[in-house]
Amino acid sequence: MLLTLIQIGPYMAPMSKPTLTSVPKIDRPTAAAAMEAVRTLIAWAGDDPDREGLRDTPKRVINAYSEWFRGYDLDPAEELSRTFEDVSGYDDMVILREIDVESHCEHHMAPFLGKAWVAYLPTDKVVGISKLVKVVEVFAKRLQTQETMTAQIADAIEDALKPRGVAIMVDAVHQCMSTRGVHHPNVSTITTQFTGEFKTNPSLQDRFLRVVGK
């Protein structure tokens, strides 16, 4: 069944920068097929899917997947659609610090956990700060690379708010690196994306990085 899924929907990442429309259109298998796939993985790992402790595991796994990957059902543009134009002359940067990032790498489906910092320079409209947190969540709750996710968050804010600039930093530890492979538990990965004035004005970048503390 997993193989069928792969054949139906090979998602090729766009060569250019990712866009908001980068959610693949696929026919989702049924819950029963997904649970059968989990049973196969358990057996492949070497255990008996029918033993007592594992009998309900496929159900629990697909419920967990519904949470971990709920970002496929959410539209970042919609989250950012409600903007406020009355900013009473406020024109400096808005920064959100240390937004929790809980995502899964697309190479191993292993968790990567960390923090995101999101800043933008408003023009004539701002958005509710909780919506910015939501945008991070929408992209994090998909199979990701940290690089793509960082660019997508910037893109979504850029598209919705048309700000003078966006700055994003993500700092995360990848469990595919800490618990397997090279086994380096203390290495974190930092990615940044700057657009507009954050890209062209080094002193703005510096102010952002000072707030971030990196």
Q: Where in 107-126 is the site for Zn ion (CB under 5 A)?
A: 107-108
Q: How far is the CB of 81 from Zn ion (least distance, A)?
A: 33
Q: How far is the CB of 139 from Zn ion (least distance, A)?
A: 16
Select 82 or 107, whichever has its Cβ closest to Zn ion.
Answer: 107
In the block, residue with structure tokens 């309900």: 56
H/E stretch holding 46 reads none
Active-site positions? 105-108, 146, 174, 176
Q: Counting beta carbons within 10 angstroms of the beta carbon of residue 112, is it exposed (0 to 12), middle (13 to 18) or buried (19 or more)?
A: buried
Judged by CB under 5 A, does residue 172 bind Zn ion? no
Q: How far is the CB of 186 from Zn ion (least distance, A)?
A: 17
Give residues with Cβ within 8 angstroms of 98, minimum separation 6.
115, 116, 117
Judged by CB under 5 A, does residue 149 bind Zn ion? no
Residue from 2, 41, 113, 176 touching Zn ion (CB under 5 A): that is 176
Give residues with Cβ within 8 angstroms of 151, minimum separation 6.
17, 18, 193
The count of chain residues that interact with Zn ion, using the rule CB under 5 A, is 4
Q: Can you give the binding site for Zn ion, defined by CB under 5 A?
A: 105, 107-108, 176
